[in-house]
Chains A and B, each alone.
Chain A
Amino acid sequence: MSAAPFSVWRAIGVVLTTLLGFAFFNALIGVFGLSAAVIALLLFIALAVLIFRLPQTERARQ
């Protein structure tokens, strides 16, 4: 766990991420049909690439 105190925003973020992850998972394995799966794949990759390209200005551990 990082040292930050409990934060409502972070909790919301965690829940949202989990739900989104679950939604993507099901879409990718075709629960909502083939076209939804394709769209989910492209969307997910686009999201990943976008996040990957953010400048990584993470500070080292104290």
Chain B
Amino acid sequence: MIRKEAIEIVSKTLKNQLVVSANGYISRDLFEVCDRLANFYMIGSMGLASSIGLGLALKNPKKMIYIFDGDGNILMNLGSLVTIGSLKPKNLVHFVFDNGMHESTGGQPTSSKNVRIDSMAKMANFKVFHTYTKNHLESILKKINDKMGPIIILIKIERSDHISKRIDISPTLIKTRFMKTIRN
């Protein structure tokens, strides 16, 4: 499974969830697969998708917050696992698409092969799922709900040659259309 396929599978289950996607190819894949007003594409500030997601989760307890993160991204902000695990928002689902590398900067390795991100999240009070197949990912998505969080779903993915298009809407427009969906 490549990242874009995994993002497609998760996107098919989206209803009114708010999605925050990490910078790099993750946001580009999401934009290409399933652009929607309730997506916040974080194009800079690497590492902070999980923290933005936490702020949203605490202020919107009736909505599910999905974070689309990468291994490189979460490894830059491991402290956020501790803060999320301490505040325990039930409506937060943290997807980590883990290819073991910084794919959008040329495939340089991360350390996610050597230290397990899901184990660290478990220690930080997350409910943990781990998968590397499409079928299993689909069955996990059926199981999760807004009373179980914080949840982390670690999805092992393969490197791909496909590069999705750049996000061609401005950051301020990303923000204003996202905020409108929160108000409704």
Q: Do A and B bind each other?
A: no
